Structure 1
Amino acid sequence: MHNNNKELTLSAPLSGPVLTLAKVPDAVFASGAMGDGIAIDPLNDTLHAPCAGVIVHVARTGHAVTLRADNGAELLLHLGLDTVELQGNGFSMLVQEGARVANGQPLLRYDQDKVAQQCKSLVSLLILTNSQDFQARPITLKSVKVGEPLLHIIRRNGAGAHTEVELVGEERIGHVRIAHRGGLHARPAALIRQTAQGFKSKSQLHFAGKSATCDSLIGLMGLAIGEQDEVQVSCQGPDAEAALQALLIALSTPLAEEHHAAAPAPLAQRNRVAEAGVLHGVCAAPGLVGGPLFRLNAINLSADAGHNDPAQQRQVLDHALTQVRSEIAVTLTQAGKHKNTDEEAIFAAHLALLEDPALLDAANHSIDLGMAATHAWSQSIDAQCEVLQQLGSSLLAERANDLRDLKQRVLRALLGEAWHYDIPPGAIIAAHELTPSDLLQLSQQGVAGLCMAEGGATSHVAILARGKGLPCVVALGASLLDQEQGQTVVLDADGGRLELLPNAERLADVRHAERARQQRRTEQQAQAHTPALTVDGVRIEVAANVASSSEAADALAHGADGVGLLRTEFLFVDRHTAPDEQEQCHAYQAVLDAMGDKSVIIRTIDVGGDKQLDYLPLPAEANPVLGLRGIRLAQVRPELLDQQLRALLQVSPLSRCRILLPMVTEVDELLHIRQRLDALCDELGLTQRPELGVMIEVPAAALLAEQLAEHADFLSIGTNDLSQYTLAMDRDHAGLASRVDAMHPALLRLIAQTCAGAAQHQRWVGVCGALASDPLATPVLIGLGVSELSVSPVQVGEIKDRVRHLDASECRRISHDLLKLSSAGAVRHACHQHWPLS
């Protein structure tokens, strides 16, 4: 159905439950990198055309087809995930490339049983591949039958008379100073666009005689607005005032992670002042280091004569791809065990890209024409990178770096090169653009810092560099690669500068600063085994978050006062059957033994929702984070929790074991588990009861803290989940994650209420979320009444040192005033003023 050739209604190509792309268990589709769209978990065996049009592409393996609708929208219909690996087995294509099809016409049929048994998932996708020209709006997110209305497709450029009606209303104008570090680059621009799209009014930014509509990411970035520049915002439409206020806040509130940088970007960086012997770039990870510059070069291939044996080259490529997949799988397992969620997400995306039909089909096609596997793979990646870079989105252009990473990794496997760089320790690495794999390798080899000619502060490498504590500057320009190998340089990542000609005095200063930082760390570590007392004598327990007995031993070595959170999921993931009672008991006992005489808080299994187990099939959920997780799963599968509680009750001594329940929302859940625990103690003939605590990670629990504290022995606040549930922002959402800041006054009010409720019953409150590891937040948490902080093992010394410099009564006085502030940015600014980080 068409409306002036601009709006098109797509009918369901399959029958079954509808999912948003974010819920698709495939990182590439879920990220929207392929385009906007929708998914269906199919219940029928035939894929139908969602509208009339022309078949422009049929996958060689018969699992996918692309249809161009009469209005120009291009629709990829992809049946199942990873189905390219079935090589057409179980699929029969019913149409040919170039054929004209009618709405509802059958396009492909598949053998449901055969395909379901062999592929990762039957979840099928309808992707709008030219999302830059069209927008997809879901009509329903419930189950559909073939032919029922599913999506509206709307052309993005100008909606004619329809727009005129919307824009009736007075124009509202405001002025604001840009607070985003580095100005309005890709990520802040994406946030502004996202904010504007929440309103009906048309919004524009005006700066230096130029204007751009807030709908356009490229337009916004094209204004070249710097940090602290003043811009005019205009909004016209029925909700112009609300849109204006929302945009003014978004423009004047820095992204949360921008506050974590060691220092604000100096004026010189913003204005790019020309300085002899200095290259200016953008800070991706803070720090100041000096050392020899070492350049990494990409692999260069010699010319390919062609005439290669296709069967042999396919085999060579398949072998290399299998090798790289298994390498990435090992990285993923390690990241999962150590809870490096950023690392896990990045390499999960890499694994998904290695299965991508667009890449594999293109490479195999070139091999069929006689090309060598090395060149076919290289060419296939280059072509995809070009597509991403031409989409006009710098965020997608940065994702091209992930593809280049896979290009290098697979080429190394094909060429048989050992994946190792010969680098002197303490070197500062220079490269055109580093990849995540490079970074993991380099960080293990003890490099001091990283600088790149290209890249962005939002790239995966930047995220990993921050996690590894490696100073990193990106976008330094091509002249970086002309520098002499081995020359001594200073990388001032805080200022976004690479100093090529530092004099002896400057080098001495940098080395002195490095030594002072190192000495401070050494002193903190030396004091880490003594209690953390505030200036006025208040004792704060500083415990550690761990996921295994080896991490517990590490925590004890770093001075932890106990384990504040043992994540038991490490026992349940990456396996095909559940661990039995004896295996669990041994694992918990090993953690207790590793902690000497200190107490260990063990959280009961927190899977379900988005953390699935092979042996625990759960229904697909429209909102996994709001579904069967934590304690709710125990209500559905009580035998799992019973087995875990039995294992926990057999550890010795039981007095050092505390049990923590995740995702509690009401008192009845706690009472039910307490009764169950009592019954199991009676069964096992135990007179002693372990302490039972509740995690405060949903707003309902914080608001009911007093009632929960009446029946719980302690409360532990999980600020990561509490943030996303309170702010209604998915912390894994690329465009929103940086705004999920637990220093938001709303979060602090919930923490204050939790502490006040617990105090009514003389219960103690701990924090085990990421906020506990943020030294800027330490005084606020102490001030609000928190008496235990559970942090990553390496941060125990630092946080204890922070506690020792604080006055608890002053923390109480100031923290309650912070609750009246209006944003996380304002809170962080005030904390820097009151309790500066030395």
Structure 2
Amino acid sequence: MQPMSSLILAAPFDGWLSPLDDVPDPVFAQRLLGDGMAIDPLDGTLHAPADGTVVSVHAARHAITLRLAGGVEVLMHIGLETVRLNGEGFVAHVEAGDTVAAGDRLISVDLGTVAPRVKGMITPIVITETAGHAVIERAAPGRIARGAPLLVLGSAQAESAAPAAAFAATAQATLRLPLAHGLHARPAARLAELAKSYDADVRIVPAATPNATPCRLRSPSAVMALGLRHGDALTLLASGPAAAAVIEALADLIATGMGELRPLGQSAPAPAQAVAESTDTSPIAPGERLMAVTAAAGYAIGQAAWLERPEPPRTARASGDAGAEIARFTQALAAFRAALEQRAQEQAGSEQAAILTAHRHLLDDEDILESVGDAMARGDSASLAWQRTMQARAATLRAAPDPHIAQRADDFIDLEWQLQWHLAGQEPPAVSLPEAAIVIARDLVPSQVAVLSPAQVAGLVTAQGGPTSHVAIIAASKGIPALVAAGPRVLSIAPGTPLLLDATGATLTVDPDATTWATAQAEAARRQARKAAAQAASGLEGRTSDGLRIEVCANLGKRSEAAPAVASGAEGCGLLRTEFLFLDRASAPDEEEQTADYTAIAQALDGRPLIIRLLDIGGDKPAPYLPMAAEENPALGLRGIRVGLAQREMLVPQLRAVLRAGAGAAAGAVKVMAPMIARVEELRAVRAALDAEAAKLGVAAVPLGVMVETPAAAVMADALAAECDFLSIGTNDLTQYALAMDRGNPAVAGSIDGLDPAVLRLIGLCCEGAQSHGKWVGVCGGLASDPLAVPILIGLGVTELSAAPAMVPEIKALVRALSAQDCRGLASAVLQASSAAQVRVLATQMIEGVTQ
């Protein structure tokens, strides 16, 4: 079976040999990962088919990749859907970096334990990297003994290209990953983007497998496939003129958390569990309630409507001119990139924009583009090369043991589908759905959900999918209730069938009886009417029914949120979190950048109040460019205003930027607030710094407020009010400090309740102290967005509420339905309660009385 220069692969198992076409999995049967054969094993030990080096062993120990002579790589995947067992029944005898000889033991599998629980034990042996080789001979299907010749590889071309120069790192760093969800699409894309801006070749390797072949950081798909999770250690390696600089920049960016920071010392929540897909296909009885998984909370009634994904025309046969295929692909790719960029700009500041940006970066993935280019050079059409490459990447991610990573496989399927339309020079057919449609689908991709209108689509239900997918994120951002993993039975629901979707309760009621339907209609109508009325009246000022003025503002975290908040009726910004400028970057913003952003937000608010909180950093919000010693209890250490007073180079430019923004706005519109004030001397220090910078600039000082987040500040409110212009209560921190419960600690976080009588008494003390000096009190913490808390806060003396922007219309409507006198009565009652549960009962009774 062998020419002299050939590479022979021996059968790694004793069993029954079959072609890949017989594998009941399209990823292998369609050779998306490469050519090869498959063996249904009769023994439980996988052996090396040839001499080589172990590239990787999957975390679930069901798959292994070897690199053989000449750079050929072979994947052996034991069984189908065995990844779900998370390694149970498998024992790996080698690890990445080990050198093996033909016949060495690689993995042992307990067939008795594994086989009954999976789709099948058939094991594909696939050449995933040909390195210029091709299969020139293969054994005949049928019984095969371990060690017998299986495949013969020969040169695919007369002269092989000169091998690329070996990678030799000249700089490296090992660090742990502080990203809450690990290295998924968005952070991987950002790292790739940064790496490309330096004259250096950067690689990454998990520290747990230091001898594994490092993958290129410029390939987000390869980085995602590593499956690195929060807390995992990784090593960055670089070569080239800018090796040291790029390593430093990448380490700084990773340290920021890239918007998903979870400090390494903080316990991570339990890993997300893979959503088990039901195999029940029994008929659905009228009125039956199906259980699913909540992807986006909400409540809706409507009619079933099928949403099929139209398949684009794909060209399997190449034109015969590789250059023409490459030119066609390049043109389509450029058009697709431009389309994604435009859509991201249109959605600026939203979750959807972040997803589109990540997708845009995947189109620059060097490994993907090289794979597509190589396939076209070998004679594949642009369409087929793109399809095989992207489906292979999706298959790799789908096998990841972390569901958060595995669910990103849909992104690759989506990009494959969209680019095929560009290659065909066509647009996908427009979506046509009936009114109040509850969309039913086997699964959806992000681009399908992105074009759906909440005005037409009442809800989404998919048979497959997961709750952390980008589909779920987009549905939630659009306010569309959604369920996933409902199982194959939902696919039997006929179009037009009445449905009751309770995504919050994770249920779908199919064809309910008349009584249930009427009740659901009444509830949906009541919710919609309340929401519509609140939005329609959102432009009215906040004022109780007996005339007490209550300003209802919005908490903002970035410039793009200001205009939508005003459109929702916000009467200003009661809390601008300036961390949006300081975090998620390698260096602090200068005075000019801060001034530009604060001024733009003030202009967007059009004369309405803007309260700018000074940088609240430290504790759970560190910055890589601000060295801070490790603290045993960061929440009680150097954070908030303490950082600013200790690091004047941070405080002064921010004060000057606030003053400059205030000078260009309506008088008194821009205010500044100091976070985490606990003592009067801290307030005096901030006042002195503010006045000094105002004098240097020749402008009037802006009003200065105190953010009340500590019991000390609440108790000393009268002394603070004597020297500040207003107080605003941050109920989130005040609650954790008052109850001595860390809201980041999962062991106690569930017991934290801002309506605890102890917290409410502190708020009452704060209001009394402020009123003694004629100063107003606002609330900018979570209680301002809680309808149950609103009448209590008003009754205690709060006259400004700064809520989440989406809650502004509802909070304003509630304020107008309340009387200040009744609120004071409720406040007196709850201060005598002994638990938060009692407080909630009293508040619920009052609100139900005014919102019926």
Task: Indicate the TM-score class for this superposition, using the shorter chain for normalisation.
Answer: 0.5 to 0.7
What is the correspondence of 1:187-226 to structure 2 with a 5 Å cutoff?
191=269
Structure 2 counterpart of 1:451, which letter? Answer: V
Asked if 1:517 is matched to 2:527, the reply is yes
User: How far apart in 2 are the matches of 1:334 and 1:511?
Assistant: 35
What secondary structure is seen at the aligned counterpart in 2 of 1:654?
coil
User: How far apart in 1 are the matches of 2:341 and 2:681?
Assistant: 41
What secondary structure is seen at the aligned counterpart in 1 of 2:440?
strand
Q: CA deviation at 1:692?
A: 1.0
Asked if 1:618 is matched to 2:625, the reply is yes
Name the structure 2 match of 1:650. 663
Structure 2 runs not aligned, ≥5 long: 1-91, 98-168, 222-234, 255-262
Q: Does the 8 Å CA contact 2:454/2:479 hold for their aligned counterparts? A: no
The normalised TM-score by structure 1 is 0.59
Pick from 720, 730, 753 the counterpart of residue 744 of structure 1: 753
User: How far apart in 2 are the matches of 1:629 and 1:320?
Assistant: 50
Q: CA deviation at 1:523?
A: 3.3
Taking structure 1 as reference, are residues 400 and 118 closer, same or farther at Cα in structure 2, changes over 3 Å only?
Answer: same
Name the structure 1 match of 2:488. 478
Structure 2 counterpart of 1:380, which letter? Answer: T
Taking structure 1 as reference, are residues 281 and 600 closer, same or farther at Cα in structure 2, changes over 3 Å only?
Answer: same
Taking structure 1 as reference, are residues 631 and 651 closer, same or farther at Cα in structure 2, changes over 3 Å only?
Answer: farther
User: How far apart in 1 are the matches of 2:641 and 2:432?
Assistant: 46
Pick from 121, 139, 146 the counterpart of residue 250 of structure 2: 121
Taking structure 1 as reference, are residues 65 and 335 closer, same or farther at Cα in structure 2, changes over 3 Å only?
Answer: closer
Taking structure 1 as reference, are residues 27 and 647 closer, same or farther at Cα in structure 2, changes over 3 Å only?
Answer: farther
Asked if 1:22 is matched to 2:178, the reply is yes
Taking structure 1 as reference, are residues 494 and 334 closer, same or farther at Cα in structure 2, changes over 3 Å only?
Answer: same
Name the structure 1 match of 2:687. 674
- Deviations along 1:65-95, one digit per CA (max 9) or x if unpaired, are 76999xx88746457x43789xxxxxxxxxx
What is the correspondence of 1:668-747 to structure 2 with a 5 Å cutoff?
670-683=683-696, 689-696=701-708, 708-718=720-730, 744=753
Asked if 1:400 is matched to 2:406, the reply is no
Pick from 240, 246, 262 the counterpart of residue 111 of structure 1: 240
User: How far apart in 1 are the matches of 2:329 and 2:806?
Assistant: 41
Q: CA deviation at 1:459?
A: 3.5
User: How far apart in 2 are the matches of 1:114 and 1:811?
Assistant: 65
Q: CA deviation at 1:501?
A: 4.1
Asked if 1:636 is matched to 2:620, the reply is no
Name the structure 2 match of 1:808. 823
What secondary structure is seen at the aligned counterpart in 1 of 2:452?
helix
Q: CA deviation at 1:657?
A: 3.1
Q: Does the 8 Å CA contact 2:174/2:207 hold for their aligned counterparts? A: no
Structure 2 counterpart of 1:772, which letter? Answer: A
What is the correspondence of 1:326-475 to structure 2 with a 5 Å cutoff?
337=349, 340=350, 343=352, 346=355, 350=359, 359=368, 362-418=371-427, 421-424=430-433, 425-443=435-453, 446-475=456-485
Name the structure 1 match of 2:146. none
Taking structure 1 as reference, are residues 552 and 750 closer, same or farther at Cα in structure 2, changes over 3 Å only?
Answer: same
User: How far apart in 1 are the matches of 2:713 and 2:321?
Assistant: 65
The normalised TM-score by structure 2 is 0.59
Q: Does the 8 Å CA contact 2:756/2:835 hold for their aligned counterparts? A: no
Name the structure 2 match of 1:230. none
- Deviations along 1:96-123, one digit per CA (max 9) or x if unpaired, are xxxxxxxxxx998711427857997377
What is the correspondence of 1:9-158 to structure 2 with a 5 Å cutoff?
18-22=174-178, 27-28=183-184, 63-64=202-203, 75=212, 77-78=214-215, 81-82=217-218, 110-113=239-242, 116=245, 121=250
User: How far apart in 2 are the matches of 1:699 and 1:649?
Assistant: 31
- Deviations along 1:128-156, one digit per CA (max 9) or x if unpaired, are xxxxxxxxxx9x99xxxxxxxxxxxxxxx
Taking structure 1 as reference, are residues 827 and 584 closer, same or farther at Cα in structure 2, changes over 3 Å only?
Answer: same
Structure 1 runs not aligned, ≥5 long: 46-60, 86-105, 126-137, 142-187, 195-216, 225-271
Structure 2 counterpart of 1:812, which letter? Answer: A
What secondary structure is seen at the aligned counterpart in 2 of 1:280?
strand
Structure 2 counterpart of 1:541, which letter? Answer: E
Taking structure 1 as reference, are residues 504 and 353 closer, same or farther at Cα in structure 2, changes over 3 Å only?
Answer: same
User: How far apart in 2 are the matches of 1:115 and 1:436?
Assistant: 38
User: How far apart in 2 are the matches of 1:609 and 1:411?
Assistant: 48
Q: Does the 8 Å CA contact 2:598/2:661 hold for their aligned counterparts? A: yes
Taking structure 1 as reference, are residues 699 and 324 closer, same or farther at Cα in structure 2, changes over 3 Å only?
Answer: farther
User: How far apart in 2 are the matches of 1:316 and 1:388?
Assistant: 28
Q: Does the 8 Å CA contact 2:238/2:247 hold for their aligned counterparts? A: no
User: How far apart in 2 are the matches of 1:663 and 1:418?
Assistant: 54
Compare 355-364 and 441-450 and name the one that shifted more: 355-364
What secondary structure is seen at the aligned counterpart in 2 of 1:439?
helix
Q: Does the 8 Å CA contact 2:704/2:725 hold for their aligned counterparts? A: yes
User: How far apart in 1 are the matches of 2:448 and 2:709?
Assistant: 36
What secondary structure is seen at the aligned counterpart in 1 of 2:311?
coil
- Deviations along 1:653-707, one digit per CA (max 9) or x if unpaired, are 4233322345667655543332233234445666x65321234568987787676
Structure 1 counterpart of 2:554, which letter? Answer: A
Structure 2 counterpart of 1:435, which letter? Answer: V
Taking structure 1 as reference, are residues 447 and 659 closer, same or farther at Cα in structure 2, changes over 3 Å only?
Answer: same
User: How far apart in 2 are the matches of 1:360 and 1:702?
Assistant: 59
Name the structure 2 match of 1:791. 803
Taking structure 1 as reference, are residues 764 and 118 closer, same or farther at Cα in structure 2, changes over 3 Å only?
Answer: same
User: How far apart in 2 are the matches of 1:400 and 1:222?
Assistant: 17
Structure 2 counterpart of 1:400, which letter? Answer: A
Q: Does the 8 Å CA contact 2:436/2:458 hold for their aligned counterparts? A: yes
Q: Does the 8 Å CA contact 1:328/1:351 hold for their aligned counterparts? A: yes
User: How far apart in 1 are the matches of 2:248 and 2:767?
Assistant: 50
What percentage of residue pairs aligned between the two structures are identical? 30
Taking structure 1 as reference, are residues 350 and 793 closer, same or farther at Cα in structure 2, changes over 3 Å only?
Answer: same
User: How far apart in 1 are the matches of 2:472 and 2:307?
Assistant: 18
Compare 468-477 and 514-523 and name the one that shifted more: 514-523
Taking structure 1 as reference, are residues 453 and 26 closer, same or farther at Cα in structure 2, changes over 3 Å only?
Answer: closer
Taking structure 1 as reference, are residues 555 and 356 closer, same or farther at Cα in structure 2, changes over 3 Å only?
Answer: closer
Pick from 672, 675, 680 the counterpart of residue 659 of structure 1: 672
Asked if 1:760 is matched to 2:769, the reply is yes
Taking structure 1 as reference, are residues 117 and 222 closer, same or farther at Cα in structure 2, changes over 3 Å only?
Answer: closer
Q: CA deviation at 1:287?
A: 0.8
What secondary structure is seen at the aligned counterpart in 1 of 2:184?
helix
Asked if 1:778 is matched to 2:787, the reply is no
Name the structure 1 match of 2:285. 275
User: How far apart in 1 are the matches of 2:722 and 2:841?
Assistant: 36
Q: CA deviation at 1:805?
A: 4.5
Taking structure 1 as reference, are residues 107 and 702 closer, same or farther at Cα in structure 2, changes over 3 Å only?
Answer: closer
Q: CA deviation at 1:421?
A: 3.3
Taking structure 1 as reference, are residues 362 and 550 closer, same or farther at Cα in structure 2, changes over 3 Å only?
Answer: closer
User: How far apart in 2 are the matches of 1:376 and 1:826?
Assistant: 64
Structure 2 counterpart of 1:304, which letter? Answer: A
What secondary structure is seen at the aligned counterpart in 2 of 1:443?
coil
RMSD: 6.0
Q: CA deviation at 1:21?
A: 0.8
Name the structure 2 match of 1:210. none
Q: CA deviation at 1:32?
A: 11
Compare 406-415 and 542-551 and name the one that shifted more: 542-551
Structure exhibiting the larger radius of gyration computed from Cα positions: 2
What secondary structure is seen at the aligned counterpart in 1 of 2:444?
coil
